[in-house]
Amino acid sequence: MRIPCPICGERDRREFYYQGDALALNRPDPDAGDGAWNDYIHNRDNPAGVTCDLWHHEAGCSNWLVVTRNTVTHEVLGAELASKVKGEQE
C-alpha cells in the first residue's frame, strides 16, 4: 500500500502510523453532552467502501494526513494535510 503524502510524495505504507477515523478532527465542545462525546471517543462507522482516516507520516515529514481510501478495493483515493482540512473547517 502506498500513500500520496502531499509533502513527501507517494510513500510506502511502512513509513506511516495509522490512527483511525478522521472524525477525530471534530473534537466536541466540553459541554457538548454525553452523546456527542461518546460518538467522538467511541463510535465509528465500519464502511464497506470509501472511508477517511488519519495517518501520521512518522518516518517522513511528521504530518498527519487525512487519507481517503476504499476498504473494499484497497484503492487509496487521495491524501490531504490534516491541518489544511481542519483549517478549512474553521
Establish if 27 lies at the interface with another protein (CB under 8 A): yes
Q: Which of 39, 68, 76, 80 binds another protein (CB under 8 A)?
A: 76
Quote the cell numbers at residue 84: 489544511
Establish if 19 lies at the interface with another protein (CB under 8 A): yes
Cα–Cα distance measured from residue 32 to residue 71, given in angstroms and rounded to the nearest whole number? 31
Cα–Cα distance measured from residue 13 to residue 17, given in angstroms and rounded to the nearest whole number? 8
Cα–Cα distance measured from residue 29 to residue 26, given in angstroms and rounded to the nearest whole number? 9
Establish if 23 lies at the interface with another protein (CB under 8 A): no
Instruction: Please report how close the Cβ of residue 4 comes to another protein at its closest, in angstroms.
Output: 9
Asked if residues 50 and 68 have their Cβ atoms less than 8 Å apart, the reply is: yes
Establish if 80 lies at the interface with another protein (CB under 8 A): no
Positions touching another protein (CB under 8 A) are 1-2, 7-15, 17, 19, 24-25, 27-28, 30, 34, 37, 40-42, 54, 56, 58-64, 74-76, 81-84, 86-87, 90
